[in-house]
Amino acid sequence: MEKEDLATFLKAAYKHGLHLDHPIFLTLAYTGLRIGELCALKASDIQKKGNVHLLSITKTYYNPKNNVKNFEIVTPKTQSSIRKIDLDEMVVQALKSLIKINGQVKEEYPNEYYDYGYLFINTTNYPGYPIYPKIIEQRMKRLLKLPKLNETLSPHSLRNTHTSLLAEAGVSIERIMERLGHSDDKTTKNVYLHKTEEIRKRDSEKFGSLMKNVLDFD
């Protein structure tokens, strides 16, 4: 997904989505989180250090049968997946708004509310329980139809887009892999190499175009 398509998609989520859509897809797009890491997030995972907000990633959500109540929170398979990610202010504000909504849901369903501090929760049926990945995938498919974007894209596509845009911004492959929680990943490297090759090609074309206007051997 190119950055223009990402912007179109995020606008669709903000304008036409349900209340969870915007914060979910904004967070995925701006952090490169795995979907299981997102579903496992709690409000306490948002930490402030000076003027910077960090997201602490220490766990992942496991629910192969898509049963709201029957899920596991497990530790990541690799040590590199445990990390802290700097949050953009736009994401911070979206998550703060979501925490307020969660508080309202808790007040509305005091007896039924599953009070364990999860961020991305069910609000009516099984209030307080974290939503599962299948729901996020379904929501994304619906939103992709609105601006007529590629409907085969998935939440994981946002992770690849995050990688690509970091590379375009000039972030090193080492820093990108640290941010994504990878010790060694072929897919990440391939996305990075593809994007940097595009950038080099554009740079070369810009230089050639610039010189063409001033250099004439006739």
CB 179 within 8 A of CB 85: yes
pLDDT value, residue 198: 72
Can you tell me the distance from the alpha carbon of 130 to that of 68, in angstroms, rounded to the nearest whole number? 7
Contact indicator for 9, 147 with CB cutoff of 8 Å:
yes
Residues 192 and 173 sit within 8 Å (Cβ to Cβ): yes
Residue among 115, 113, 145, 139 nearest 127 (CA):
113
pLDDT at 2: 86
Tokens linked to 55: 């997201």
Q: What is the pLDDT of residue 211?
A: 59
Domain ranges, ordered by start, for the chain: 3-151
Question: Scanning the structure block, which residue is given the tokens 């972030």?
Answer: 171
| CATH code of the domain occupying 3-151 | 1.10.443.10
Q: Is 11 left (phi over 0), alpha (psi -120 to 50) or beta?
A: alpha
Run means of pLDDT, 10 residues per run, the chain, 218 residues: 92 96 97 97 96 96 95 92 95 97 97 97 95 96 92 93 87 86 72 68 67 66
pTM, two decimals, is 0.86
CA-based nearest residue to 55, from 76, 11, 86, 88: 86
